[in-house]
Amino acid sequence: MKNNILSGLTVGIIALPLSMALAIATGVPPQLGLYTAIVAGIVAAVFGSSKINISGPTAAFVVILIPIVQEFGISGLLLCGLLSGIILVFIGVLKLGTLIELIPYPVTVGFTSGIAVVIATFQIKDFFGLKIENFDGHYLDKIYLIFNSFHTIEFAEFFTGALTLFLLILWQKTKSKIPAALIALLFSTLIVTFLNIYIPNIDIATISSTFHYKIGELEGNGIPPIPLQFSLPWSFLKPEEINLDLIYKLLPHAIAIAILGALESLLCAVISDGMTGNKTNPNKELIGQGITNIVVPFFGGIPATAAIARTVVNIKSGATSKESSIVHSLFILVSITFISTYLSYLPMASLSALLLMVAWNMSEVKHFINIIKVAPKNDVYVLLTCFILTVLIDMQIAVAVGIGLASILFIKRTIDLYSIELVNTKNLNIHPEIPENISIYDINGPMFFGAAQNALKTLLNTNEDIDIVILNMQNVTMIDMTAIVALKSIVDNFKNQKKRLIFCGLNNRIYRKLEKANFLFNEKYLTNLNNLDEAIYYSKNII
């Protein structure tokens, strides 16, 4: 119990500024990130499968959420989170969690590295204090704006960001149990507060000077000092704006959020299970994440998933149960209620420095370079495609193309497992005297649409002098409709040529499929026998 409380407090200290920084990076007020961490930390722990995962806003979502906020506003973002939660519940209920885990490593590295580059790029504005009024558009547009605005650099902002980044890096090297974020942000906040008050012409941007809130009659700057409030996700929309057309527009974004959230949460589960020896049920975990994202928008929270970095800290701090995640949420709730005024003094440049560290940690530079060096060419192409699409085009497109490439790669490698070859009859020790008018083909691996045409071409090119063709299908593991149609075409072709076709070694499942597809097994044109020896003996006796 004591270890779980201490680990929860440790993670809470890290999650507090990070949740605000991620919300700001997404384009929404910082308190929405805090609300997300509070609700997600409790709900995901209660309904999910993992004992020690910490859920909340994550850096992986930033890139995919920015365009939603820009196009649909906060209500659009909250509705997207709600829809993604429903999708995640369906994925879990349909037990598709194991399929999500099959996405190849180059795809996930391509995503995460691309996200890291985008997040790091977007922090340059606040890190250097650049004056950019409308920081919208695609990645290249923002790069152009950054370069054209470097003459507006505020050296006080840059000093603040650089100091925070230096302290973050330095403190991590000390291996202290005190979180680096706490030391770096506390020290930089004290310095910035002193400079803003006592040094003339110094006005370093903070949360308080950047964000304004108005909730009912309560109005002020920074973070509102109130606990969670229940509200409908669509409350910011006019009644006429809530229609099916809006849902159709939001659905592709929600699907992308759900897929990315599933990947992130299951990857986090794999890492945490490897560190603790626990066994997370992937489908139950996705249902828990789905319920979380259904509940979070009703408290003003943005989409959430399991956070790898916070989970690792939780484990290293001695967490053994879900209590630590709940304590982490309660710590943030208490902090909002009692010290929100002090949290509002956090410098924007310091939060940018914190996100730069997050981006570096999630960039997986070593793994990225290692894949390029040692992986097969196809994996390298997939990695670079996912990376480039994530950075230059759109995360939604990158997710779709990445999963498509993963599927194509899987199909290609499955096809490579398939083979059909003419057996050299001189090497048959059991039946050395095979007549020349009998051909024996060994078929190995799954027969599906990717391999069916290969079988069709090979068998249709059989020598005209061959009267009997034996297909040894003992090592065929599955057959799909395309392969069934191809085999049917071969049977009909052989029938027209007055040739006999003999199947042997079919397992019961495939045999039933062929029977259901109206394969007429008889002794005249098509026969099914138990094994190759029986097929050879039968063939020699009917010639």
Average pLDDT over residues 510-533: 81
Q: Both 187 and 325 in a single domain?
A: yes
Q: Both 324 and 464 in a single domain?
A: no
Q: Both 203 and 79 in a single domain?
A: yes
Q: Both 153 and 271 in a single domain?
A: yes
Quickly count: other Cβ atoms within 10 Å of residue 298's Cβ.
Answer: 18
Residue 396 lies in a domain: no
| Range from 137-151, 386-400, 412-426 carrying the lowest mean pLDDT | 412-426
Residue 268 lies in a domain: yes
Domain termination residue (choose one: 345, 364, 383): 364
Can you give the residue range of the structural domain that contains 430? 419-542
Residue 118 lies in a domain: yes
- Name residue 421's beta-bridge partners: 442
Comparing C-alpha atoms, which of 506, 499, 486, 496 is closest to residue 526? 499
Residue 477 lies in a domain: yes
- Residue 432's Cβ-side half-sphere holds a number of Cα atoms within 13 Å equal to 1
- Name residue 471's beta-bridge partners: 441, 503
Reduced to 3 states, what is the DSSP secondary structure of residue 95? coil
Q: Both 357 and 439 in a single domain?
A: no
Please give the tally of structural domains in the chain: 2
Residue-level pLDDT at 451: 66
Residue 398 lies in a domain: no
Q: Is the pLDDT of residue 487 over 80?
A: yes
Q: Both 360 and 432 in a single domain?
A: no
- The chain-wide mean pLDDT, for the chain, equals 85
Q: What is the pLDDT of residues 239-286, one digit of tens each?
A: 666 778 888 999 999 998 998 899 889 888 888 888 888 888 989 999
Q: Both 225 and 307 in a single domain?
A: yes
Q: Both 42 and 115 in a single domain?
A: yes
Q: Both 309 and 450 in a single domain?
A: no
Percent of the chain past pLDDT 90, that is, above it, reads 32
Q: Both 429 and 357 in a single domain?
A: no
Q: Both 351 and 424 in a single domain?
A: no
Residue 388 lies in a domain: no
Task: Give the CA dihedral 20, 206, 158, 134, nearest 10 degrees.
Answer: 80
Domain termination residue (choose one: 364, 380, 410): 364
Task: Give the CA dihedral 194, 195, 200, 202, nearest 10 degrees.
Answer: -140
Are residues 9 and 190 in contact, defined by beta-carbon separation less than 8 angstroms? no
Q: Is the pLDDT of residue 463 over 90?
A: no
Q: Is the pLDDT of residue 34 over 90?
A: yes
- Name residue 99's beta-bridge partners: none
Residue-level pLDDT at 132: 84
Strand order through the sheet with 526-529: 419-422, 438-444, 468-475, 500-504, 526-529
Q: Is the pLDDT of residue 383 over 70?
A: yes
Residue 375 lies in a domain: no
**What sign for the dihedral angle of Cα 486, 490, 496, 500?**
negative
Domain termination residue (choose one: 347, 364, 381): 364
Q: What is the pLDDT of residues 193-230, one digit of tens each?
A: 999 998 888 889 999 998 988 877 778 888 988 878 88
Confidence of residue 429 (pLDDT cuts 50, 70, 90): low
Residue-level pLDDT at 452: 66
Q: Is the pLDDT of residue 378 over 60?
A: yes
> In angstroms, rounded to a whole number, what is the distance separating the alpha carbons of residues 253 and 459?
47
Cβ neighbours of residue 213 closer than 8 Å, sequence gap 6 or more = 29, 31, 219, 220, 221, 222, 223, 224
Confidence of residue 427 (pLDDT cuts 50, 70, 90): low
Rounded to a whole number of angstroms, the distance between the first and last alpha carbons of the chain is: 81
> In angstroms, rounded to a whole number, what is the distance separating the alpha carbons of residues 281 and 303?
21
Q: Both 188 and 272 in a single domain?
A: yes
Q: Which of 36-50, 175-189, 399-413, 484-498 has the highest mean pLDDT?
A: 36-50
Percent of the chain past pLDDT 70, that is, above it, reads 93
Residue 123 lies in a domain: yes
CATH number of the domain where residue 489 is located? 3.30.750.24
DSSP conformational letter for 65: H
Residue-level pLDDT at 161: 94
Average pLDDT over residues 94-100: 80
Per DSSP, the residues of 205-257 read: -BHHHH-EEEETTEEEESS-S-------TTTTS-GGG-SHHHHHHHHHHHHHH
